[in-house]
Amino acid sequence: MAKNKSRTDDAAAPEIVDTEPVKLTQFAHGGGCGCKIAPHVLEQILAKTAPAIVPKQLLVGIETSDDAAVYQLNAEQALVATTDFFMPIVDDPFDFGCIAATNALSDVYAMGGVPLLALAIVGMPINKLPLETIKRILEGGESICARAGIPIAGGHTIDSLEPIYGLVAIGLVHPDNLKRNSGARPGDKLILGKGLGVGFYSAALKKGLLSASNYASMIASTTQLNTPGRALGCLAGVHAMTDVTGFGLLGHLVEICKASRVSAVIDYAALPILANALDYAEKACITGASERNWVSYGEHVVRPTKHLSEVEQALLTDPQTSGGLLIACAPEVVTEVLSIFLQEGFDHATVIGELSTGKARVSVVGGKSGSD
């Protein structure tokens, strides 16, 4: 078990006082996967790092911006290792813990793997948040790991300026079932597993506009474990898989196109969208990360002849905290893939486009503003 360490171990224990419920989001300058460093900035940072040691057992590293590192242990087992953490996207501490844990475990499922254990990453403004609030965040994460059938076997804590929570997630995958983002092929169909619009919801929440029913929809989506990845990893007709998170649908699809050297077309009219999400976007409930995403990879996107509206473009770049799996699969297994999603309760899963030969880019067709 990893040692649970804290730089505040020797400090005086903070006093526990009765307070009104705190709004976690007030302590954070950003929330959820919208906290990610913009793709083009991250690319510049990584480009300046020294070449890494790459042992032959390292099946997946940083070369294609995949979801997790994968290290082969033997002929039948490979270790999947990933980490994910962020600041609060919601005010309820238990919900925040649940969302962060679900998001972290998603990377294991996206590689076709099965989670084995987790370590907690905890940074909290210890003198600003009641200890009971922090405890509830941890309990949220524990509840998701229990649902996934794994323990949180340790972790690390620090006293930080903003609340931060997430997991190191460790899993296993058979090397033959490993799904990279680099395996997509021309002719593949694209399937998205969850509805889009989480970023719109989160912006509406911060403005006090999100309805109770839409908040419930947000929690249901962001705490739904991407468990179909386990079965999808076993399908030979599934050629590539990733999850859609902070870079938005376009960003993660561009990564597949670059890694697989293919071109993509997505049908805007086919996109699954969370209830009322576009209504909130029309009220300017759009995150700053959405625009940063477009600046990062907009040059790789071909829009309809009549440009997308601001809201339509924002949906495509909307940061999805704990978003759905994005699958590239052979046409003959589409029915089976959709059946797996439906069997596990993913009723938004649908075909959104296809891949072809050509330059690594994404073309968008459809949309209210015009068509190709």
Please report, for residues 7, 115, 201, the alpha-carbon distance to residue 209 in angstroms, rounded to integers and kept in the order given.
Answer: 39, 36, 9
Contact 82, 67 (CB under 8 A): yes
Q: How far apart are CA 194 and CA 173, in angstroms?
A: 23
Write down the catalytic residue from 33, 98, 145, 285: 33
Contact 34, 288 (CB under 8 A): yes
Please report, for residues 116, 313, 361, the alpha-carbon distance to residue 317 in angstroms, rounded to integers and kept in the order given.
Answer: 32, 7, 15
Q: How far apart are CA 284 and CA 287, in angstroms?
A: 9
Provide the terminal-to-terminal Cα distance of the chain, rounded to the nearest Å: 56
The closest of 106, 110, 111 to 72, measured between CA atoms, is 111
What stretches of 268-311 adopt beta strand conformation (E)? 301-302
Look up 33 and say whether it is catalytic.
Answer: yes
Strands 325-329 and 189-192 turn out to be antiparallel
Q: Which residues are catalytic?
A: 33
